[in-house]
Amino acid sequence: MEEKTYACFLGCVIPNRYPGIELSTVKMLRELGVESVDMPGAGCCPAPGVFGSFDLKTWLALAARNICIAEELGCDIMTMCNGCYGSLQEADHLLKGDPLLKDKVNEILAPEMEYKGTINVKHQVEIFTDDIGIERIKEAITMPLDGLRVGVHYGCHFLKPSAVRGHGKAERPGMVDALVEVTGAKSVEYKDKMMCCGFGGGVRTRDIEVALDITKEKITNMLDAGVDCTVNPCASCHLQFDRGQVEIEHIFGDRFNLPVLYYSQLLGLAMGHDPRELGMHKQNIPTDPVLDKVEGLK
């Protein structure tokens, strides 16, 4: 595999709430031959959907500013949040396809920066899948997670709009399932697997009870299918499932305690790392049941 270095875009949720996502992702990628560098001065992505719907030009300018930082570093961007990926990837797509829009955005950025369109935006799932590959990951597994049943949650912005993302049909994806199963765990099908976690579209900000009711339904469906944990590739979805369970108990009185793992944390376990090295002890919902399930993890 050709050595690759990515500009690591953290977004807002990861440094403020879940540094274990950055830690585990950077660590696992490095062990598999992919390096990353920080993006000094990077700001919010900004959040896709709501912001862009109200003010397209400002949203594009803020996203383009982040892309410019990566251009100056000479690296493609790596994202670890579906929202950040959706915002930056779609902004890059729009600006590369519309010279007039690109000129308008560059007028806003001038004279400090200029968007050139020389780099690409990639999600960590794409890096694990396309740059590294399933076979290379398989070779790195030292502690297969045999017997672990996983409810995979994709999230919305990684897949949609499908014409822009380019991952095929959004209704029946397989990328994350394949990455989970190479660890030895089983990806379990469950009702409404492709449903939103409840975080997106400004729902969590506008009406927390509605957002958590969606989360509650999704967790119930996973548990009904007999999963031991849920695994996601998105910092925002991770927050909604992890912190959301604490909020669900407070608001609705329902207690679930379903362990929530980011994909690189699951992979780190399968590659023989201590859970504390992966930031798993810093989450709201204890992940001990996962460790208890797989012999030798503790």
Confidence of residue 275 (pLDDT cuts 50, 70, 90): very high
- Residue written as token pair 């996973």: 222
HSE toward the beta carbon, residue 155, CA cutoff 13 A: 29
> Do 153 and 104 share a domain, yes or no?
no
Say how far apart CA 117 and CA 211 lie, in whole Å. 36
90 Cβ neighbours under 8 A, 6+ residues apart: 48, 52, 161, 164
pLDDT, tens only, 84-133: 999 999 999 999 999 999 999 999 999 999 999 999 999 999 999 999 99
- What is the model's pLDDT at position 1? 61
> Do 41 and 91 share a domain, yes or no?
yes
- What phi-psi label fits residue 201: left (phi over 0), alpha (psi between -120 and 50 degrees) or beta? left
Number of other residues whose CB lies within 10 A of the CB of residue 36? 20
Q: What is the mean pLDDT of the chain?
A: 93
Closest C-alpha to 186, from 243, 137, 225: 225
pLDDT at residue 261 is higher than 70: yes
> Do 142 and 286 share a domain, yes or no?
yes
251 Cβ neighbours under 8 A, 6+ residues apart: 208, 209, 212
- What is the model's pLDDT at position 241? 98
26 Cβ neighbours under 8 A, 6+ residues apart: 8, 36
Q: Please count the structural domains in the chain.
A: 2
What value does the mean pLDDT take over residues 262-289?
95
* 168 or 242, greater pLDDT: 242
Q: Of 124, 147, 172, which residue sits at a domain end?
A: 124
pLDDT, tens only, 41-91: 999 999 877 777 778 899 999 999 999 999 999 999 999 999 999 999 999
Sign of the CA dihedral running 262, 60, 16, 254: negative
Amino acid at 100: L
Token pair, residue 156, equals 């919305």
> Do 154 and 99 share a domain, yes or no?
no
Say how far apart CA 230 and CA 285 lie, in whole Å. 12
Phi, psi of 115 (to 5 degrees): -75, 125
pLDDT, tens only, 204-244: 878 999 999 999 999 999 999 999 999 999 999 999 999 99
> Do 117 and 140 share a domain, yes or no?
no
DSSP reduced 3-state for 78? strand
Confidence of residue 159 (pLDDT cuts 50, 70, 90): confident
- Provide the percentage of residues in the chain whose pLDDT is more than 70: 96
- What is the model's pLDDT at position 297? 60
pLDDT at residue 169 is higher than 70: no
Which CATH number goes with the domain that contains 149? Answer: 3.40.50.11810
> Do 151 and 282 share a domain, yes or no?
yes
DSSP reduced 3-state for 73? helix
DSSP reduced 3-state for 43? coil
DSSP reduced 3-state for 48? coil
- What is the model's pLDDT at position 245? 98
Q: How many helices (H) and strands (E) does the chain have?
A: 15, 8
Residues in the chain: 298
Phi, psi of 4 (to 5 degrees): -135, 140
What value does the mean pLDDT take over residues 28-49?
93
> Do 104 and 172 share a domain, yes or no?
no
Domain range for 12 is: 4-124
Q: Is residue 178, in this structure, part of any structural domain at all? A: yes
